[in-house]
Every structure is written in C-alpha cells, then in structure tokens.
Amino acid sequence: MSLLVVGSVAFDAIETPFGRVERTVGGAATYFSLAASFLTRVNLVGVVGKDFTNEHEQVFRGRTVDLAGLERAEGKTFFWSGKYHDNLNDRTTLATDLNVFAEFRPKLPDSFRKSGYIFLANIDPTLQRSVLDQVAGKPKLVALDTMNYWIEGTPAELRKTLKQTQILMINDSETRQLSNEHNLLRAAKAIFKMGPKTLVIKRGEHGAMMVHGDSVFCVPAYPLDEIHDPTGAGDSFAGGFMGYLASAGKVNANSLRLAMVYGSVLGSFAVERFGLERLLKLKRSEITNRVRHFHKLTTFKL
Amino acid sequence: MSLLVVGSVAFDAIETPFGRVERTVGGAATYFSLAASFLTRVNLVGVVGKDFTNEHEQVFRGRTVDLAGLERAEGKTFFWSGKYHDNLNDRTTLATDLNVFAEFRPKLPDSFRKSGYIFLANIDPTLQRSVLDQVAGKPKLVALDTMNYWIEGTPAELRKTLKQTQILMINDSETRQLSNEHNLLRAAKAIFKMGPKTLVIKRGEHGAMMVHGDSVFCVPAYPLDEIHDPTGAGDSFAGGFMGYLASAGKVNANSLRLAMVYGSVLGSFAVERFGLERLLKLKRSEITNRVRHFHKLTTFKL
C-alpha cells in the first residue's frame, strides 16, 4: 500500500570529525522517502524554494517517490547547518533558516488522499493534523514524530494530534519529557493514554525499543565499522519502519517487530556515509542481507 | 564446574532518588557470588575487616558460596559511599575507604586451586595475575573486569594480565579508553590483539554487546518498571554470565550468547531493589522465567 509522508525537504550543511559538506539535499521527508522507497511507493508532501532545482530533485528520480505533493514556493529552501562532536552523539545546530518552510501549509494532491499509511514527520502538530483532515476515510496507520519544541511549546495541539495517531516514534528524552516519567515502561503507559497504542523509542547508537500493549521489543543499533554522519538516521529508521509495514500490508505483532529491524537496517546504511550518499547507492539486496545478518546478531537458542 | 572470583567485599552507603541505606554489605565479589550461586558453585577470594561479623556473612549462607578464601584481616572493611542522580545513570562517589583492601594479597586455599572458571573482578591487575599464578594447571576460562584507574595508572601491568585472559568485560568508555578507538568494533579488534578473544561491553540501561571473533551479539537491558538502585548491576551481570558458562561446562558461540542473557537477567534483578535485597530474595524459577521472557523480548521471524 502507498505511504504518505509530510515533512521537511531541506539543504543541509554538515560537519563531522570525518569531513564536511557545504550544501547537500536533506530534510526528514527526504531521508524518510529514500529509505522507504526501497520497500514501497511513497507520496511526498513538502515544500521547497526556487533554489531547489531539477538537479537537486535527481535524488528522488528513478525511485518510487511521487513528488506531486512537493510544492515549489517563492523564496529559499529550508536550510539547516550542524556540527557533530567527536563522539558523534552530540551535535551543535549552527543554523536553522526555515525560509519557505515557515509558511508551509501541507496540501494533498487528490491522488494522495487515499494513502493507507501515513507518516507525520517532525513539524507543527497543527499542520500534522491538517494532513489527516485531508485524507479520505480512515487511514490504516498513522505514525508521528515530534520533538521537545512542540512538546513544550504547543502541548494542547500535540495532544489533539496524538489522539489520531497509532504509533509515536520519538527518542528517549522526548519520551520522558512528554510523559513526565523517567522510566520508559511507565512513560509508555502514560503515552498510551494520549492515543498511540505503540511507542517506538529511537536511541541512536543504542538501538530502538518498541512498546506495544504489554509487549516490549528491543533491537540494537546495527554495529558498524564506520559511521561518517548521523544526519538522517532517525528519519531513515522511520522510512524503513513504515516502508516495511506498508509493503507487508498488515500491522501485527510480528510485522511491527520486522518493521523495527527494517528501520534499524535503513538507519544503519544512512549513517555510513555523508548525507544521502549511501542511501543513493544502496541496493535492495543489501537491505535483505543486512536484515538476515541482524537476525544472526540477536538470536540465541534457549 | 566451580567458579572462582576474586574482588571486593565491602560495606556500601547508597543514596538514590528512591531511598538511602547507611551501611549494607556490597562489593563486586559479593554481587558476583550471589548472582552466580544460583547457577553454579562459587569460590570467593577476598578480604574483610574485624567489623565484618557473622551476621554480615549471612548474605552468603545457604548458598553454594565457599568462603574458605575470605580472609579476615585486622582493621576495617572496605567502605564505599555513593549518590545516584535523578536519571540513575550518573553517580557521585562520596567516599572510597580501602581499609583492609589496601593491603589485600589474594591467597587461594588449596581447595580453590583447581577452579576451572575464573573471574578477576576490578582490582589491581598485578593482584589479578597473582591469582592466576596460584591456579593449578591451565584454567578453562579466565574473564576480567577493570576500570579507567588501572587503564591509565598501570597500563603495562594490565597488558600482562590481559595476555592471560580470554574474556574482557568492561563498559563502553573503558573499551574506548583501553583501545584508543571510538568505534566499538574497531576497539574490539584492537583489544583482541592484547589477548582476550571475547569482549563483553556493558552499557547499563542500554544492555550489553559481545564481540567474539567476527561475530557480534547484542542484548538489551531487561525493561523494568522500577529501578531502585543500580549498584552492583555490572557485577551481577558478570556473575550471571560466568555462572551460566561454568554450569554449562562449555564455551561456544551459543553458550556465550546464553551467558549474555543470564548476565542481563541477573543484572536486572539486582537493580530492582536496594543493595543485595532483591538477589537475597530471588528464586531460581524467577531467573528461568525471565530468561524465557528475554527470548520473547528479542525474537522476530524473518
């Protein structure tokens, strides 16, 4: 089934201990779409400025990413700049120029209104909800990402949107902040009262944890020899996760677990090289191999 | 097979957001022995002072822990005091009074010399090696814990001891410091050149990772509703790990993986209550149940 994503398409300037890049295509919806496109058709809703040329659009070409919902507005594309510290876990944001993203009002083309799987990347919860309002009928699955800015700044709006959400996908500190609980299991229970029935906690180099009703599932981060740039890891995780579910066409205990594995695998590829570089060169067979290897990595016989 | 441990037996004063205790029996060898004793016979080598009474010794009674190697020296028992911060991950050490531990020279009773499995808890690497010198023949398996103090302070002595070690069991920052490599897979390769053929990296709330030759195995921390006191988690992990291997009597790819699971399970029980409280009440059947649950927690079908 087709998968709709709404979120940022951006230019990034990135510096890590392994190099730097002055201006490369990035953004949550970009990483998400590229990762998910290996598994399913993706309908992208976002906005870029006039400086986003056909050449930049090449990152989506030859993939099952439908750009009918990518608006081209007067002005400049969202620009983000960040520098990662030596441990790659901490980063300093150097610039966040919203540009055309500041006035972004998501508009779904008619052809997108029947998307069964929806991922609301980290944007204003009011805009996230406006996407759901434009969907025809009840979507099969809505997943949402958010951040401290919205948890603190627009809690009531976020709560309204969470009521329409089945899966919340955030990191541990956001989980603790939203629930006001330090313990992650208690935090999950508090969040389930807000709407979502599944909580996916992204923990960077420590993997991810999913709480789904009474069941808990943990995956490690795929161990890598080289990590060059963590940018987009969480969004690629989300793309792998939702892409797998949309391709499977069913949401149950095992498909959710496999989605966690596909998420981890896509996230692991994203960080191996700078920006989108590794995802752009990725082959479907490499994903399958890494999923199998992931199984070996976590299996034991009782 | 019997399992020998050398390390500290201590009095601890602990404060966490969930309470405090002024003086309770603790120490690495204590947590290790209690955890391992559910799975195998343990030979404990350590030292206490005259203030360590028969009443304190009760924590070992009724268990398969042989205290023939627990020396009683003139003076006071090792005393440690620490306070955990709200997140339970960070702690401040308030006091470390070595007392009789300062002059500790491990002496193995004759009955201990044939121990097949040996765990050298975190003490001076010279003393760790002196234990190996007293063992009759070649032990089946030697595992070692250490810390930044020895990695920085006595690197040459530590290297000598590592040459006689098959398993190194440390945390991520110690792994990075010892190997001078940030990436944990590269760190493992560097450490393998020092002697050990297996590296177990303890990551607290993020679980543990084992690198064994080319194979990597990851376990999450067992998700708990309540964590009252992280003291002894790593030593209980080591006790579960080595206790399982000694009980299995074989060291191979799957027994090492199961050892990781038993380690995580014993560590998870240790932190549920203050000090030794939970381990003292623990039943063997609870361990079996949690190991089975651990399997559910990490299993997925391809």
Q: Which residues pair with B16 in a beta bridge?
A: B19
Per-residue model confidence as pLDDT tens for chain A (302 residues): 799 999 999 999 999 999 999 999 999 999 999 999 999 999 999 999 999 999 999 999 999 999 999 999 999 999 999 999 988 888 999 999 999 999 999 999 999 999 999 999 999 999 999 999 999 989 999 999 999 999 999 999 999 999 999 999 999 999 999 999 989 999 999 999 999 999 999 998 889 999 998 899 999 999 998 899 999 999 999 999 999 999 999 999 999 999 999 999 999 999 999 999 999 999 999 999 999 999 999 999 98
- The vertex-A180 CA angle with A178 and A181, nearest 5°, equals 115
Looking at residue A289, its pLDDT comes to: 97
As its CATH architecture, domain B3-298 has 3-Layer(aba) Sandwich (3.40)
CA-derived radius of gyration, chain A: 18
Domain range annotation of chain A: 3-298
In a 13 Å sphere around the CA of B37, the CA atoms on its Cβ side amount to: 23
Per-residue model confidence as pLDDT tens for chain B (302 residues): 799 999 999 999 999 999 999 999 999 999 999 999 999 999 999 999 999 999 999 999 999 999 999 999 999 999 999 999 988 888 999 999 999 999 999 999 999 999 999 999 999 999 999 999 999 989 999 999 999 999 999 999 999 999 999 999 999 999 999 999 989 999 999 999 999 999 999 998 889 999 998 899 999 999 998 899 999 999 999 999 999 999 999 999 999 999 999 999 999 999 999 999 999 999 999 999 999 999 998 999 98
Asked if B297 and A258 come within 8 Å (Cβ–Cβ), the reply is no
> Could you tell me which chain A residue has the CA closest to the CA of B289?
A302
User: How many H-runs (helices) and E-runs (strands) does chain A carry?
Assistant: 11, 13
Residue B220 DSSP label: P
- Residue A112 one-letter amino acid: F
Which residues fall within 8 angstroms of residue A259, CB to CB, at 6 or more apart? A240, A241, A242, A244, A245, A248
> Could you tell me which chain A residue has the CA closest to the CA of B88?
A182
Looking at residue B213, its pLDDT comes to: 87
State the smallest CA–CA distance between residue B141 and chain A in angstroms: 21
Q: Which residue has the tokens 């990851």?
A: B218
State the smallest CA–CA distance between residue B210 and chain A in angstroms: 10
Q: Extract the tokens encoding A5.
A: 């994503």
The Cα–Cα gap between A73 and A292 comes to: 43
State the smallest CA–CA distance between residue A23 and chain B in angstroms: 27
The Cα–Cα gap between A280 and A92 comes to: 26
> Could you tell me which chain A residue has the CA closest to the CA of B215?
A297
Looking at residue B86, its pLDDT comes to: 83
The answer to whether A254 and A238 have CB atoms below 8 angstroms apart is no
Q: What's the Cα-to-Cα distance from B161 to each of A74, B124, B241, rounded to whole Å?
A: 67, 10, 20
Rounded to the nearest angstrom, the gap between the alpha carbon of residue A174 and the centroid of all alpha carbons in its chain is: 15
Instruction: Classify burial at A39, counting beta carbons within 10 Å of its beta carbon; exposed 0-12, middle 13-18, buried 19 or more.
Output: buried
For residue B285, give the H/E element and its range. helix B284-298
Looking at residue B1, its pLDDT comes to: 77
Asked if B223 and A207 come within 8 Å (Cβ–Cβ), the reply is no
Helix A125-134 and helix A155-162: axis angle, to 10°?
30
Asked if B216 and A292 come within 8 Å (Cβ–Cβ), the reply is no
Asked if B223 and A218 come within 8 Å (Cβ–Cβ), the reply is yes
DSSP H helices, chain A, are 28-37, 54-57, 125-134, 148-153, 155-162, 172-179, 184-192, 233-248, 253-270, 277-281, 284-298
> Could you tell me which chain A residue has the CA closest to the CA of B299?
A299
The Cα–Cα gap between B113 and B131 comes to: 9
Q: Extract the tokens encoding B97.
A: 């009074």
Asked if A209 and B223 come within 8 Å (Cβ–Cβ), the reply is yes
Looking at residue A214, its pLDDT comes to: 87
Chain B contact present for A258, CB below 8 A: yes
ipTM entry: 0.86
Of A237, A223, A247, the residue nearest A270 (C-alpha): A237
Q: Which residues pair with B68 in a beta bridge?
A: none
